[in-house]
């Protein structure tokens, strides 16, 4: 957003304001810090001017974010398609504004549904970045909250709490995780409703300042929207995050390992690809999060293994390689139970839950 200080026109006759000739100057000094590079001025174009959508696209540097999304997020094809669609809409909208065509700020509030660990938070982060690049949010930061941050514990506590969160998120994206918890129909004295009401108001009146993204499990979010029709109608984009397939999970594991500078040897890779389908069938499976936990435990076992053979000289290779036994020791293999149970070998004393 560009904020321009209007200098006063020169006074036609001598009056009091000539005494303060320096004042526009002193105001301007303060505003100089305002011009961040994200502010791109939109110049108006005549009706017949040709516009280059490609150039506009490159200028917005959205491709970079989309590429990053492709690189860092495995699978999720429907979600990525939808994000590209939204980016296209915003881009075209920007061009339209340059011809002075009126179009209201599109409603950008979103709803992410999907099972745990399917990448909702990560996508929300990227979304904030995309919206920022396209100039639809001014700062592009993400404020991630849950019910506890919004709803108070006694009468009169909720409104200031919710408002404080909203103020923090202004100019960026407000991400409400497990949003269905906001509404608890079984308790009529619950203050969640108050919070929802304030949110609704802000979502309507401050569309330019704030984008709200709700996230949660599909069935629970559906129920939430059923009881809050106002919320449903204010959200334009409903994105469903599908579960990952075994192959995708393996790719995710690769990405995670690469990030942490680990590698798998061939036998370990085989063990991992056997582990994933087994784990997928068990309870409390949380997609990418379960994979991360499995890798964390493998690292733990690796460290233990290296420590047990500490009389031997270690090479860099040893420090970065996870081997078969690091995975095979998992209880998922041994007796088809989750790790972290009391009987689980070396992990006895360690409070690690498999989820």
Partner 1 sequence: MAMTNPGNKVTQGQFSFLPDLTDEQITAQLKYAINNDWAVNVEYTDDPHPRNTYWEMYGQPMFDLKDPAGILMEINECRKTFPDMYIRVTAFDNTHGWEAPRMSYIVNRPPSEPGFKLHRQERDGRSMGYTIEPYATDKPEGERS
The DSSP letter of residue 101 is: -
Site map 133..162 versus partner 1, x via CB under 8 A: -----xx-x------------------x--
Size of the site for partner 1 (CB under 8 A): 27
For residue 173, the surrounding DSSP H or E stretch is strand 173-176
By beta-carbon proximity to partner 1, the closer residue of 7 and 314 is 7
User: Among 7, 11, 18, 20, which residue interacts with partner 1 (rule: CB under 8 A)?
Assistant: 20
Q: Report, in Å, the least distance between residue 229 CB and partner 1.
A: 25
Q: Binding to partner 1 (CB under 8 A): which residues in 158-187?
A: 160, 163-164, 166-168, 170-172
Site map 32..71 versus partner 1, x via CB under 8 A: -xx-------------------------------------
Q: Assess 31 for contact with partner 1 (CB under 8 A).
A: yes
Q: Assess 25 for contact with partner 1 (CB under 8 A).
A: no
- Determine how many CB atoms are found less than 10 A away from the CB of residue 323: 18
Give the dihedral sign, CA 337/340/341/342: positive
Q: Report, in Å, the least distance between residue 15 CB and partner 1.
A: 8
For residue 143, the surrounding DSSP H or E stretch is strand 142-145
Q: Binding to partner 1 (CB under 8 A): which residues in 197-236?
A: 206, 208-210
For residue 131, the surrounding DSSP H or E stretch is helix 120-133
Q: How far is CA 292 from the centre of its chain?
A: 18
By beta-carbon proximity to partner 1, the closer residue of 84 and 138 is 138
User: Among 7, 27, 303, 334, which residue interacts with partner 1 (rule: CB under 8 A)?
Assistant: 27
By beta-carbon proximity to partner 1, the closer residue of 210 and 276 is 210
Contacts of 122 (CB under 8 A, 6+ apart): 72, 73
Q: Assess 299 for contact with partner 1 (CB under 8 A).
A: no
Q: What angle do CA 323, 324, 326 make, to 5 degrees?
A: 70
Q: Assess 16 for contact with partner 1 (CB under 8 A).
A: yes
Distance in angstroms (rounded) separating the CA atoms of residues 210 and 167: 9
Complete DSSP assignment for 288-354: HHHHHHHHHHHHHHHHHHHHHTTTSPP-HHHHHEE-HHHHHTSHHHHTS--TTSTT-GGGTTS----
Q: Assess 3 for contact with partner 1 (CB under 8 A).
A: yes
Interface segment toward partner 1; rule CB under 8 A; list 20-28, 59-67, 127-135, 191-199: 20-28
By beta-carbon proximity to partner 1, the closer residue of 132 and 279 is 132
Q: Report, in Å, the least distance between residue 30 CB and partner 1.
A: 5
239 neighbors 110 (Cβ within 8 angstroms) = yes
Q: How far is CA 114 from the centre of its chain?
A: 14
By beta-carbon proximity to partner 1, the closer residue of 8 and 270 is 8
CA distances from 25 to 6, 11, 224, 263, 342 (A): 11, 16, 53, 61, 72
With CA atoms as reference, report the closest residue to 292 among 69, 122, 145, 71.
122
Interface segment toward partner 1; rule CB under 8 A; list 30-38, 255-263, 270-278, 304-312: 30-38
Q: Assess 341 for contact with partner 1 (CB under 8 A).
A: no
Complete DSSP assignment for 259-274: HTT-EE-HHHHHHHHH
Q: Report, in Å, the least distance between residue 14 CB and partner 1.
A: 13
By beta-carbon proximity to partner 1, the closer residue of 174 and 272 is 174
Counting beta carbons within 10 angstroms of the beta carbon of residue 110, is it exposed (0 to 12), middle (13 to 18) or buried (19 or more)?
A: buried
By beta-carbon proximity to partner 1, the closer residue of 141 and 328 is 141
Which positions lie near partner 1, rule CB under 8 A?
A: 3, 5, 16, 19-20, 23, 27, 30-31, 33-34, 138-139, 141, 160, 163-164, 166-168, 170-172, 206, 208-210
């Amino acid at each position: 957003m560009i904020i321009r200080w209007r200098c006063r026109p020169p006074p036609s006759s001598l009056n009091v304001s000539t005494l303060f000739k320096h004042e526009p100057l002193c105001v301007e000094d303060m505003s100089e810090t305002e011009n961040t590079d994200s502010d791109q001025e939109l110049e108006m174009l005549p009706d017949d001017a040709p516009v280059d959508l490609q150039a506009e696209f490159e200028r917005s540097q959205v491709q970079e974010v989309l590429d990053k999304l492709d690189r860092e997020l495995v699978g999720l094809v429907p979600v990525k398609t939808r994000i590209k669609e939204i980016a296209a809409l915003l881009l075209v909208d920007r061009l339209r504004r340059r011809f002075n065509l009126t179009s209201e700020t599109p409603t950008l509030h979103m709803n992410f549904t999907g099972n745990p660990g399917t990448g909702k938070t990560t996508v929300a982060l990227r979304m904030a970045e995309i919206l920022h690049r396209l100039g639809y949010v001014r700062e592009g930061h993400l404020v991630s909250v849950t019910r506890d941050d919004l709803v108070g514990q006694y009468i009169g506590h909720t409104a200031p709490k919710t408002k404080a969160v909203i103020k923090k998120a202004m100019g960026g994206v407000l991400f409400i995780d497990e949003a269905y918890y906001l509404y608890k129909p079984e308790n009529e004295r619950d203050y969640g409703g108050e919070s929802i009401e304030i949110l609704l108001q802000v979502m309507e009146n401050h569309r330019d300042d704030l984008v709200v993204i709700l996230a949660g499990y599909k069935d629970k979010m559906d129920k939430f929207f059923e009881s809050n029709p106002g919320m449903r109608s204010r959200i334009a984009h409903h994105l469903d995050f599908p579960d990952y397939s075994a192959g995708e999970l393996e790719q995710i594991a690769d990405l995670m390992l690469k990030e942490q500078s680990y590698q798998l040897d061939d036998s370990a890779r085989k063990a991992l690809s056997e582990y994933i389908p087994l784990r997928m069938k068990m309870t409390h499976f949380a997609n990418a999060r379960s994979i991360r936990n499995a890798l964390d435990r493998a690292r733990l076992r690796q460290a233990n293994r290296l420590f047990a053979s500490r009389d031997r000289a270690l090479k860099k290779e040893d420090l970065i390689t996870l081997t078969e036994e690091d995975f095979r020791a998992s209880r998922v293999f041994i007796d088809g139970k989750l790790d972290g149970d009391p009987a689980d070998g070396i992990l006895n004393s360690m409070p690690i839950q498999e989820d």
